[in-house]
Amino acid sequence: MTETSASATTEATPLLEVRNLVVRFAKAGAPAVDDVSFTISRGETMGLVGESGSGKTTIGRAILGLQPVTSGQILFEGRDITRAGAKERRGLQGDLRAVFQDPFSSLNPRRPIADALTEPLRVAGVSKAERDRRATKVLQAVGLPSNSGERYPRQFSGGQRQRIAIARALVTDPRLVVCDEAVSALDLSTQAQVLNLLADLRAGRDLGYLFIAHDMAVVEFLAQRVIVLNRGRIMEQGLTTEVMNNPQHQYTRVLMAASPVPDPDEQARRRDIWKALRAEAKAQAPAA
């Protein structure tokens, strides 16, 4: 294979491919994730949206190796990581990162931010001088002063701590970041700032995101494609603009009606629509 054809093959291979994923918490119970398949390309954001209990976080945890897979495959850059062992997962830590909902709980209040940022680099054997250089650079990339590493978690606002969580995810220069409800705990103005930051970083670094959320409006802003998930199954998927402008599934319309808006009159109207759609969806749902 020539260098040109090898490069073309690499570009054609999805960054992430999930094939017929099934996750069960108990052998006799219903699957938490049921036959889910999708791909994410380099530089693309895939939105994964659904209510609490829909299985979206379980999918993210399975990709990160935090949740055992019952059946199906997870491929990262063409490499099967479905049942990767601890050693193989350690080798993936630099390329496959995560940002969770509550960064404060994962930051040691007794240690400065620099320690949290440089820990994965220290584990990877990166020199202290290089660790410090990368920490300074990534703090600047997320819009925080370069000396923020000297401060402690309690000295930052919620939005700033989420920027720190993003910086920690990016410090290893990853290929894919799983964002699990990464902005849901933030107020609307801070949400917008963090979403803009994620979009800018994606463009500048050719990052892929799996963006997990329950709010369709948030997903619409960031994701090029979206999957609507309910009870572990895909209800609808496609280009985000097409799904938002012409939702085909009743459950998608329910989620859209539930998205908050700043106008109280419009919010009241949406609430009425949401109640009507929920009632209709329950009436049409098959018996368990």
Tens of pLDDT along the chain (288 residues)? 454 444 444 568 899 999 999 999 988 889 999 999 999 999 999 999 998 889 999 999 999 999 999 999 999 999 999 999 988 988 898 899 999 877 667 778 889 989 988 888 888 888 999 999 999 988 888 888 878 889 998 898 888 888 888 888 889 889 999 999 888 877 777 888 888 888 888 888 889 999 999 888 888 889 999 999 999 999 999 999 999 889 988 888 888 877 665 666 665 665 665 566 566 656 655 544
The pLDDT value given to residue 264 = 64
Q: Is residue 118 part of a domain?
A: no
Contact 179, 197 (CB under 8 A): no
The pLDDT value given to residue 8 = 46
Residue 77's domain spans which residues? 3-95+174-284
The pLDDT value given to residue 7 = 47
User: Residue 232 corresponds to which tokens in the numbers above?
Assistant: 């572990």
Q: Is residue 145 part of a domain?
A: no
Number of domains in the chain: 1
Q: Is residue 22 part of a domain?
A: yes
Q: Is residue 117 part of a domain?
A: no
Contact 38, 59 (CB under 8 A): no
The pLDDT value given to residue 145 = 87
pLDDT by residue (tens digit) across 50-72? Answer: 988 899 999 999 999 999 999 99
The pLDDT value given to residue 210 = 96
Q: Is residue 233 part of a domain?
A: yes
Q: Is residue 120 part of a domain?
A: no
Residue 77's CATH number: 3.40.50.300
pLDDT by residue (tens digit) across 111-159? Answer: 998 998 888 888 888 899 999 999 998 888 888 887 888 999 889 888 8
The pLDDT value given to residue 270 = 57
Q: Is residue 124 part of a domain?
A: no
